[in-house]
Amino acid sequence: MKNIEKDFLREKSFAFAVRILKLNRYLTEEKREYVISKQLLRAGTNPGVMVREAAYAESADDFIHKLAIA
């Protein structure tokens, strides 16, 4: 995968995670919602982790598999 595409995915997944963190903060501080906000935090930050893990895949098939999960 080209570096430009990797950078694009990293930036987009990072921006998404930041938005999830802000939403989590809003839900916990303003709405006092803790159960849904915790699950949202786990699910919303996972794609960024998977994109970074895919960058270090052992093979092309492994890369495709990890990126598909993300």
Question: What is the span of the domain harbouring residue 65?
Answer: 46-70
Taking the complete model, does pTM exceed 0.85, yes or no? no
- Would you state the structure tokens that stand for residue 49, as one six-digit string? 């982790």
Q: How many domains does the chain have?
A: 1
Maximum Cα–Cα distance for the chain, whole Å?
45
The three-point CA angle 17-22-23 to 5° equals 95
Residue 7 belongs to a domain = no
Calculate helix-pair angle for 35-55, 60-69, nearest 10 degrees: 160
From first to last of the 70 residues of the chain, give the pLDDT tens digit: 566 666 898 999 999 999 999 999 999 999 999 999 999 999 999 999 998 888 888 999 998 888 888 7
Residue 52 belongs to a domain = yes
Residue 60 belongs to a domain = yes
Residue 68 belongs to a domain = yes
